[in-house]
Amino acid sequence: MFRLTGEGVPYRDFFLAVAVTSMVFMAVAVISVLGLFGAVLVPVPVLYYYSRLGRLPGVLVFALSLALTLSVLKGLDLQTGLVYFSLLGLLGVVLSEVLRKDCSIERTVICCGGILLALGLVVLAYLSLTAGSMPWSVIGTHISVVVQENIDMYARAGIPPQHIELIRENADQITRVLVGLFPSIALVGTIFLVWVNILEGKWLFKKKGMWYPSFGDLSLWKTLDKTVWLVVIAGICIMVPLETLRILGLNILIVLLFLYMLQGLAIMSFFFQTKNVPLLLRVFGYFLVFAQQFLLLIVAGVGLIDTWVDFRKLDKKSS
């Protein structure tokens, strides 16, 4: 039975947890810069306090923080805020439960990502029912709004008018392509979100002296060698003059490039460790990779080439 005193959770720890979690939620909702990173900030306090205080206190901390945030921030759209913080907060709960099983990194990511995607589908079904339209129509409407917002942002950023007009003329086509690629974008975004929160949790839990799964040496992680055949299949689908097959091939290719990007990042981490690169330079290196899209493609290419070259094995031989 949950109690705040005695053998239960002390008042101070419980209300401190509510205060910290609420402040993180509100900061993400109010500060635009933090809002960009909300997906990697919101689940962490929920994960930490759910694991530290226990299941029932952890759920109460999450629920009270969510209610406090939505009641204080009157300017926040209630439905949007509820869906946004509920999904990300529940990711912290799911992560805590799955981490206790001490599974492999692959199983942990797949399990957490699968549950989060299932919750997202439930939300999408609800929005479709309330709007009286099909799910892909809801997705298309949302993407169309996002495209228009980006066009307006580019115009304010001083992009040449002829470029803005070109984008505006092709807005419908851009929207249609993004709707077709939505499955892979949603899958990649979910996996990346879970992966980043696992790494954040590992750093926080170790700093607080709490147990956390080791997952082994993640710098040695790689995809199955047979995965490269899926790249070939995706390439064939893209070359077939049928829009359905091309969209399917692009979706497969986006997911595979993301997996090879993770493998490329593991190779970077391996060389950072073996060469004893200082922490600040490591952070700067990762920042450059994610700040420059062409560097991300290079990292993904390195991950793909590693299927045949095996960079980490070569480095061991040279050492």
pLDDT at 8: 64
Q: What is the pLDDT of residues 124-143, one digit of tens each?
A: 998 888 888 888 888 888 88
Integer CA distances (angstroms), 227 to 175, 233, 250, 256, 304, in order: 30, 10, 15, 8, 10
In this predicted structure, what is the pLDDT of residue 250? 94
In this structure, are residues 169 and 148 in contact, taking their beta carbons and an 8 Å threshold? no
CA distances in angstroms from 23 to 1, 12, 29, 273, 276, listed in the order given: 28, 16, 10, 35, 37
Residue type, 99: L
Mean pLDDT of 141-161: 81
Q: Which residues of 288-313 are buried (b: 16+ CB within 10 A; e: fewer)?
A: ebeeeeeebeebbebbbebbeeebbe
Paired tokens of 250: 């692009």
In the chain, DSSP assigns E strands to none
Sign of CA dihedral 66, 23, 6, 92: positive
Over residues 51-60, the pLDDT tens digits come to 999 899 999 9
Range 112-119 average pLDDT = 94
